[in-house]
Amino acid sequence: MKTAFKSHRLLASAALLTVLPAVALAQEACTTYTVKEGDTLGSIAQSAYATYDYQTIFNANRDKLAGTFNNLPAGLELILPCLDGRLTPDTELGAIISGEQEAQDANRDASKTYQPTLRFVSGNGRKPLSDESLNGGGALVRIATTALQRGGNDYKATVGWVDDWRSHTTILLPKNAFDVSVAWLMPDCSKLDQLGPEAVERCTKFDMSLPVYELAFVFTTLADSPFVAARSYGDLAGARICQPRGWSSFPLEQVGLVEPVITSVRMPTADDCGEALLVGEVDALAMPVEASNDTFERLDKMDEVVINPVLVQILSMHLLTSKENPRGKEYIAMLNKGITEMRESGEWYDILATTLAEYQAQNQ
């Protein structure tokens, strides 16, 4: 599934504000915010950044938001990152990365026995998550390769690039051409009976790392749509829901939104889905919040659409290795140790923020 980051530059729409349960009082980026009764992440993002795209707030507060995403408790204090990704005005992007690398270099044991090079594979077109044009290959590739140098690991790695993502899981990993693919959305594998063949394959034929990134999967409708007030997935029964071709269908499958409950519409691109929504050919778009905002910003129609503030799934992205790889479980265990250390030290967020800053600079 493709996804994209966008900087905080979308204008708030009056139509959106009318359907949010409450609107956060005027806030500023680069501060903290204490949640008030009725706030949603969307309303807080609208006030702080003039956009409903709350992904950056989620990234900075993921541990606090676990289990409370759709029902923020009053009194919860959230970090509102600066526009350039820093958590506070007095922090410096990249400082944690530099410190962790210096510590790793100082503790490196030259007497360690030889270990084989781990072969990562990723693909282009998911800026800033993975793309060869970005430093280190993008945020998730940097996180994956850095994890091999943290948590007591000390492995070398290579990164190959194959833009046919489907080939990663059908050929490259099963045939051991590469060891680990960066990175994949994973379904709820406890719901195998509700999932389609591709999702079942991901659950049964691959081992996955701890999450390396989480994103908010949402539904976007016109402001005057009869589905705009949906507060349960059952309320979307009868809707024509559009996704771009090639995107995973499991986010709909695992909440029961399959034919004939809904009509699934596939179009070549996210923009095609967006245009179809605007002219009434479909009733809703199903995609990550960042991708939705990106689509309607390009179409210059943000004032005509609403992102549902309640029907949100937090989907996680993982590093995958084939169960056929004789060292696959060992690699995942090592990566998990590194990812855990990076979460605890703050290096995970620092890599994410520095990559986003680079991506924004490229697009100015």
Domain boundaries, the chain: 114-213+317-362
Nearest of 361, 282, 356 to residue 53 by alpha carbon: 356
Q: How far apart are CA 25 and CA 10, in angstroms?
A: 18
Decide: residue 234, CB within 10 A, 0-12 exposed, 13-18 middle, 19+ buried.
Answer: exposed
CA distance 166 to 185: 13
Beta pairing partners, 217: 288, 313
pLDDT tens across the length of the chain (364 residues):
433 333 333 223 323 333 333 334 445 778 899 999 988 888 888 888 877 778 888 888 988 887 677 788 899 999 998 888 888 888 888 888 888 877 777 776 654 555 679 999 999 988 899 999 999 999 999 999 999 999 988 888 999 999 999 999 999 999 999 999 999 999 999 999 999 999 999 999 999 999 999 989 999 999 999 999 999 999 999 999 999 998 999 999 999 999 999 999 999 999 999 999 999 999 999 999 989 988 999 999 999 999 998 899 999 999 999 999 999 999 999 999 999 999 999 999 999 999 988 988 887 7
**Sequence-separated contacts (24+) of 20-25 with Cβ below 8 Å:** 20/46, 20/309, 21/309, 23/47, 24/48
Cα–Cα separations (whole angstroms), residue 273 to 44, 87, 129, 196, 278: 27, 35, 23, 22, 9
Class of domain 114-213+317-362: alpha beta
Q: Kind and range of the H or E element at 206?
A: strand 206-208
C-alpha 3/C-alpha 17 separation (Å) is 25
Cα–Cα distance, 326 to 179 (Å, whole number): 10
β-strand 263-267 against 240-244: which pairing, if any? parallel
Q: How many helices (H) and strands (E) does the chain have?
A: 13, 12
Beta-carbon count within 10 A of 103 CB:
12
List Cβ neighbours of 305 (8 Å cut-off, separation of 6 or more). 13, 15, 16, 220, 221, 222, 223, 277, 278, 292, 296
CA 67 to chain centre: 17
**Chain centre distance of CA 107:** 33
Burial class (CB in 10 A: 0-12, 13-18, 19+), 2: middle
Is the Cβ–Cβ distance between 39 and 80 less than 8 Å? Answer: no
DSSP 247: S
CA distances in angstroms from 296 to 128, 188, 277, listed in the order given: 19, 29, 10
Roughly how many angstroms between the first and final C-alpha of the chain, as a whole number?
25
pLDDT at position 155: 86
3-state secondary structure of 293: helix
Q: For tokens 């499958």, what's the residue?
A: 253
Q: What is the pLDDT of residue 23?
A: 39
Judge residue 78's burial from the number of C-beta atoms within 10 Å of its C-beta, 0-12 exposed, 13-18 middle, 19 or more buried: buried
Q: Which residues contact 53 (CB under 8 A, 6 or more apart)?
A: 6, 8, 10, 45, 289, 290, 293
Q: In the numeric block, which tokens belong to residue 226?
A: 């009869």
- Between CA 109 and CA 79 the distance in angstroms is 38
pLDDT of 29 reads 75
280 burial (CB, 10 Å; 0-12 / 13-18 / 19+) is exposed
pLDDT at res. 13: 33
pTM comes to 0.82
